[in-house]
């Protein structure tokens, strides 16, 4: 279940407290009198607590919370590409790490973070990889914070496709 921050819905004198956070998995466990047995209420309370960071929370029935920024779909395409083009591995890994941690809410956020990126129709974004040697086309769903890899290739391959429809 994915819950977004709900402004002002919870007004309880007992505020939830964070007890532990696993830096590897991102799991956050909550405790304190503000957490009710109802996991939906607990999720909403945790969202209120984390509201300044504006993370999405995924809440399980067992009371575990996982916050995330961006998910990247079709990472295998990147791996397959850098197997063929060894010089692209490091720049693609760097892009992946940076994109995964990005907090993109609208196309202007992309331009602010990636000055050489081009924003196209249909939520498509073209990234220049390795000093403009390669092109990476993504489709971004800003509401669900998902980046879909649509194309990775050389400029010659890029010229043969329609970036707005791929």
Domains by residue range for the chain, with CATH: 2-68 (no CATH), 71-158 (3.30.2310.20)
Q: What is the predicted pLDDT for the residue at 10? A: 35
CA distance 14 to 138: 43
Q: Residues near 4 by Cβ (< 8 Å), separated by ≥ 6? A: 47, 56
Residue 57 near residue 47 (C-beta atoms within 8 A)? yes
Residue 166's pLDDT is 87
As a whole number of angstroms, the longest Cα–Cα distance in the chain is 62
Q: What is the pLDDT of residue 68?
A: 62
Instruction: Give pairs for 135-144: CB < 8 Å, separation 24+.
Output: 136/92, 136/95, 137/163, 137/166, 140/104, 140/110, 142/104, 142/105, 142/106, 144/2
Q: Quick one: pLDDT at residue 161?
A: 95
Instruction: Return per-residue pLDDT of the chain as tens, 166 residues.
Output: 343 443 333 333 444 444 344 444 444 444 444 444 455 565 556 555 554 444 445 555 555 555 567 999 999 999 999 999 999 999 999 999 999 999 899 999 999 999 889 999 999 999 999 988 999 999 999 999 999 999 999 999 999 999 988 8
Q: How far apart are CA 154 and CA 99, in angstroms?
A: 20
pTM score: 0.61
Determine the pLDDT at residue 54: 44
Beta-ladder partners of 67: 57
């Amino acid at each position: 279940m994915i819950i977004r921050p709900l402004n002002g819905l919870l007004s309880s004198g007992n505020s939830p407290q964070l007890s532990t956070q696993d830096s590897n998995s991102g799991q956050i466990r909550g405790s304190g009198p503000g957490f009710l047995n109802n996991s939906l209420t607990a999720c909403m309370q945790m969202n209120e607590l984390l509201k300044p960071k504006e993370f999405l929370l995924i809440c399980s029935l067992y009371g575990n919370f996982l916050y995330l920024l961006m998910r990247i779909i079709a990472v295998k395409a990147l791996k397959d590409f850098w197997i063929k083009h060894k010089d692209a591995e490091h720049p693609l890994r760097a892009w992946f790490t940076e994109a995964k941690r990005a907090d993109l809410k609208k196309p202007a956020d992309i331009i602010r973070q990636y000055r050489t990126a081009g924003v196209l129709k249909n939520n498509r974004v073209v990234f220049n990889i390795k000093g403009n040697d390669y092109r990476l086309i993504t489709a971004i769903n800003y509401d669900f914070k998902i980046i879909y890899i649509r194309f990775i290739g050389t400029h010659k391959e890029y010229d043969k496709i329609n970036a707005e429809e791929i």
